[in-house]
């Protein structure tokens, strides 16, 4: 008879649930809790039940996790993006952008404008461009992604769930980076520290999804949504071309990863995304000498450093041997935007979320 597995349920606490002022708010800041299963669990359970007694002691399975949704959540209702302004009105300065399906926590609503907080941005958005109330909760439930956020200064992503050797380290990822959670947590009895591991996806590399394990103690696992992007002074003070490249690229946060793709509509890979954004902003790849693949891009252009890099320039990453296999575009404030992989699509990361191999500029 198959051994029964006991469900373990964890509750995500959303840091964005805020203490609101005495001014009017749209809804209460109470949370709605909904159980949502992790992907790939049926196979994990089948493997568990069919492996035999000796293997069962190797694994502990997180059967499901709970999604906690604030009632005052809002989701962007737009085709591309909506502006976040410093005050309620179209005449006020833009402080950030909220791309399609991104979230915000509603702090107050006045005369058709919602004051929201999303990521590091706080400002006002017209309620015409937001799903709010029960609609907002329903959309949030539909769009939530289970992610592992690095909480330590850095964590090693390993090929296998074991600390017995350093030879299985794929990459070191830094604090704040979000990694897509692929399946149940496992613990290996061969690890002297009995470390609990989370199976995650790193970037797609040359069409292959890079999958590994991170130690649970160094990540915070929970459901999250895309957040707003802040308008950066470094970008605002750059040339019109560089300014346009950054703003244009941010419209496609969440664009799905497609190996070999160069479309800002149906999807692109890492180098295809750069190529497509450059083209969208009027740059001819042949004229500026921009190749198609990340490894070729890393050998061209003009080499720049962390001291001289500007918005719109390119940052390259590689495997443990230093071979380039990924490219991102610098968007200011030590951040890059890139087509990360099929699990998360286009997203913003810390420029040093992985080890940088080289930086290049194809712009004047």
Query: What is the number of other CB atoms lying within 10 angstroms of the CB of residue 193?
Result: 12
Task: Tokens for 205, please give them.
Answer: 């590399």
Q: Is 78 a catalytic residue?
A: no
Q: Has 20 been annotated as catalytic?
A: no
Tell me which DSSP letter residue 29 carries: -
CA pair distance 364, 362, nearest whole angstrom: 7
Provide the 10 A C-beta neighbour count for residue 121: 18
Residue with tokens 């450093």: 305
Closest by Cα among 102, 178, 122 to 146: 178
Q: Is 270 a catalytic residue?
A: yes
Catalytic residue among 78, 281, 326, 346: 326
CA dihedral 116, 122, 125, 131 (to 10 degrees): -30
CA 147, 176, 197, 168 torsion-angle sign = positive
Q: Is 115 helix (H, G, I), strand (E, B) or coil?
A: strand
**Which residue is catalytic, options 78, 281, 338, 346?**
338
Residues annotated as catalytic (active site), given as ranges: 270, 326, 338
């Amino acid at each position: 008879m198959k051994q029964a597995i006991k469900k373990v349920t964890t509750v995500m606490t959303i840091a964005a649930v805020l203490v609101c002022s005495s001014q009017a708010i749209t809804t209460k800041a109470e949370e709605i809790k909904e159980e949502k299963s992790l992907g790939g669990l049926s196979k994990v359970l089948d493997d568990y039940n069919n492996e035999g007694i000796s293997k069962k002691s190797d694994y502990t399975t997180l059967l499901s996790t709970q999604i906690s949704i604030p009632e005052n959540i809002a989701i962007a209702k737009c085709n591309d993006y909506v502006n976040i302004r410093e005050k309620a009105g179209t005449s006020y300065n833009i402080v950030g952008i909220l791309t399609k399906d991104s979230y915000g926590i509603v702090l107050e609503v006045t005369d058709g404008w919602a004051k929201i907080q999303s990521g590091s941005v706080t400002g006002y958005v017209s309620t015409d461009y937001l799903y709010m109330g029960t609609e907002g909760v329903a959309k949030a439930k539909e769009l939530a992604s289970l992610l592992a956020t690095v909480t330590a200064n850095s964590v090693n992503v390993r090929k296998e769930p074991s600390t017995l050797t350093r030879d299985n380290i794929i990459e070191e990822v830094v604090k704040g980076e979000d990694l897509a959670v692929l399946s149940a947590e496992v613990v290996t009895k061969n690890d002297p520290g009995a470390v609990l591991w989370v199976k995650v996806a790193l970037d797609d590399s040359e069409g292959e999804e890079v999958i590994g394990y991170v130690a649970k103690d160094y990540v915070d696992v929970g459901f999250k949504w895309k957040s707003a992007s802040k308008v950066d002074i470094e970008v605002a003070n750059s040339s019109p071309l560089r300014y346009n490249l950054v703003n244009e690229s941010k419209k496609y946060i969440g664009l799905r990863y497609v190996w070999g793709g160069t479309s800002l509509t149906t999807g692109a890979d890492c180098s295809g995304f750069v190529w497509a954004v450059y083209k969208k902003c009027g740059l001819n790849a042949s004229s500026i000498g921009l190749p198609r693949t990340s490894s070729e891009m890393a050998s061209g252009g003009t080499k720049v450093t962390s001291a001289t890099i500007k918005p719109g320039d390119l940052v390259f990453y590689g495997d443990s041997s230093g071979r380039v296999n990924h490219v991102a575009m610098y968007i200011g404030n030590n951040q890059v935007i890139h087509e990360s992989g099929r699990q998360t699509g286009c997203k913003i990361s810390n420029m040093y979320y992985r080890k940088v191999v080289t930086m290049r500029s194809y712009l004047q």
